[in-house]
Structures are given as C-alpha cells and as structure tokens.
Amino acid sequence: MEPKAGAGLESANGLRAELSYRYAGRSAPDVAFKGADGREVALTDFAGRPLLVNIWATYCIPCKVEMPTLDNLAELEAGKTTVIAVAQDLQGRKVVLPFFTRTAIKNLEPYIDPTNRLWHAVGGSPALPTTILYDSEGREVWRVIGGLEWDDEEISAMLAEAD
C-alpha cells in the first residue's frame, strides 16, 4: 500500500480502498450514537488520543471481511490509538451483536447508529466501509473509503500521521 491521497490501496486479500485527505482538519462531529449497552456516546467522548472510526454495516461484504483485522488493530493499538466501529444497520443491536459473536470480535465494542446520524455528520461517502482517523484534538487526518486489512504493517505508518 502506498499512502498517497487519492491513491488506490489494496490489501493482500484483495480488498481495495481509496485514501482521501478531502476533509483533513475538520472537527469530529458531536452527534450521538449508541454503545452496546444502549448508552449514548459521541466521537468527542474519545478526545485525548488519536481515534480511528470505522463506519460499517453487516450487509456490506467488504465491511464484514475487514472487521476481524480491525479487531486485531484495536488490540495492537491499545493505549495509543482508540479504534471503534459504528454500525449503520437500521436493525441495530438485533443484527450487530450476533455478527460480533459469530466472528469472535473481542477488542471492539459494537457501537450502533441505526439512524445514520454519524454517517451524515461526517459527510457521507460513496461507499461503506469508511474509516476516518482523527488526531488527539479531534481533527480529521484522513479517511479510507473501502475495505482494508487493518492489521497490515503499513497501517502503522498511516496511523502515525495523527501524531
């Protein structure tokens, strides 16, 4: 993978994505979504360290393929970068929790946004998954549109851009 704006990124497993700096510098939106226990949270609640936000859905094939690698990344980055996944499924926990159980996702909390408020607040995107890196002050660094292997070595260099 070559981390250049607009460049195509391709993982060894064939997932493809595009790296974009279009919204770099924009503040993380302060809109509510739900934790697994139903509590309301917002991206601003994660301030203080870099934050990687994956916006996905259970009906999205690349989303499902990349989720185990995102879960691995959450473990690898523990204490350095917070990694969260926010599902856009209209059925919410009803479909997201069984997916997390089936795929043995253990390092990510199953956040849900069945009203798609977060999706709209970040400007939407031409495709799911969309993953956005925010710096420790809550400003967007870059976004990746499409799926990737998030536990790939080259991702570390991309995450370092939030420092």
SS3 60: coil
Q: Would residue 61 count as lying in a domain? A: yes
CATH of the domain at 27: 3.40.30.10
User: What Cα–Cα distance (Å) separates residue 158 from each residue in 22, 28, 154?
Assistant: 16, 19, 7
Report angle CA 26, 30, 33 to the nearest 5 degrees: 125
Q: Would residue 11 count as lying in a domain? A: no
Position 87 scores a pLDDT of: 98
Q: Would residue 1 count as lying in a domain? A: no
Going by C-alpha positions, the residue among 121, 149, 119 that lies closest to residue 13 is: 149
Average pLDDT over residues 30-43: 94
Given a cut of 60, is residue 63 above it in pLDDT? yes
Average pLDDT over residues 7-16: 79
Parallel, antiparallel, or unpaired: how do β-strands 82-87 and 51-56 relate? parallel
- Give 11's pLDDT tier (boundaries 50, 70, 90): confident
Q: Which domain holds residue 111?
A: 20-162
User: What Cα–Cα distance (Å) separates residue 129 from each residue in 52, 146, 147?
Assistant: 13, 5, 6
Which pTM was predicted? 0.93
Average pLDDT over residues 48-76: 97
Tally of domains within the chain: 1
Q: Would residue 107 count as lying in a domain? A: yes
Q: Would residue 37 count as lying in a domain? A: yes
Contact by Cβ (8 Å): 108, 85: yes
Share of the chain above pLDDT 90, in %: 82
DSSP code string of 119-156: HHHTT--SSS-EEEEE-TTSBEEEEEEE---TTSHHHH
Share of the chain above pLDDT 70, in %: 94
Contact by Cβ (8 Å): 97, 123: no
